[in-house]
Every structure is written in structure tokens, then in C-alpha cells.
């Protein structure tokens, strides 16, 4: 199976996927750590794909999304963005709306606490 096929299958089979450096329990870069931390804190169930474990996936996800950096967040098969975009969406409340619209469970109180801490 090609890297593109693996990526397509992963984002199809999982509601929320984070392509990241490291894992959700052990991120290996600050940007991946930030996005995984947001999702973990908000109680979002997500699949993590460690791009450091497979060079073809690492390059393949950049080609797939036409986005040059890692991490990359997908919700219901759609590319959401990287660290800066996910951070901005969390603070603005757009991430809450995206998750709610797609029927993804999360802790609204935790999301509110993130916004309060960044106000």
C-alpha cells in the first residue's frame, strides 16, 4: 500500500487524526506537543500518526495536504491545519464549532479554560 493510500485510509477510518512528530503520549516536537496537548486536554479522541517512524508517511502527508509542516490535524477526513491554525481556532472557539458540527465529543469546560488562560 502506498503512503497516499495509507494516509487516505487513516483519515477515512478515524474521525480525528493528528499527523505529528512523536505520539500523543510522547510528542517529539513543541508544535506537535501543543496540538496533542489541546486535543488531550479537551478530551478529544484522536488517532495519532508518528511521522518520524516512516519517512514515506512524513513526506506523503505534506504532499497529500499540500501543507509543508507537521503537525497536521484532520477532522472527518478534512484537513484543518497545523499548530498555529489549531491554536487560533481553539482560542476563537472555531475548533469547538468544528467538533460540534462533526459530532465529535469534547469537554466544553476544558475548551473554555484554555480560552480563559489565553484571554
Query: Where is the binding site for [2Fe-2S] cluster, in residues?
Result: 29
C-alpha to C-alpha distances, 91 to 18, 31, 76, nearest whole angstrom: 19, 16, 21
Q: Which residues are annotated as a binding site?
A: 29
3-state secondary structure the chain: CCHHHHHHHHHHHCCEEEEECECCCCECCHHHHHHHHHHHHCCCCCEEEEHHHCHHHHHHHHHHHCCCCCCEEEECCEEEECHHHHHHHHHHCHHHHHHHHCCCCCCHHHHHHHHHHCC
Amino acid at each position: 500500500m502506498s503512503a497516499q493510500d495509507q494516509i487516505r485510509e487513516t483519515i477515512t477510518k478515524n474521525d480525528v487524526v493528528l499527523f505529528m512528530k512523536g505520539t500523543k503520549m510522547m510528542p517529539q516536537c513543541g508544535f506537535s506537543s501543543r496540538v496533542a496537548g489541546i486535543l488531550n486536554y479537551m478530551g478529544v479522541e484522536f488517532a495519532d500518526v508518528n511521522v518520524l517512524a516512516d519517512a514515506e508517511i512524513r513526506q506523503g502527508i505534506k504532499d497529500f495536504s499540500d501543507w509543508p509542516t507537521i503537525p497536521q490535524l484532520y477532522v472527518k477526513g478534512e484537513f484543518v491545519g497545523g499548530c498555529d491554525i489549531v491554536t487560533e481556532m481553539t482560542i476563537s472557539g472555531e475548533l469547538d464549532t468544528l467538533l460540534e458540527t462533526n459530532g465529535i465529543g469534547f469537554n466544553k469546560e476544558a475548551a473554555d479554560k484554555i480560552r480563559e488562560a489565553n484571554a
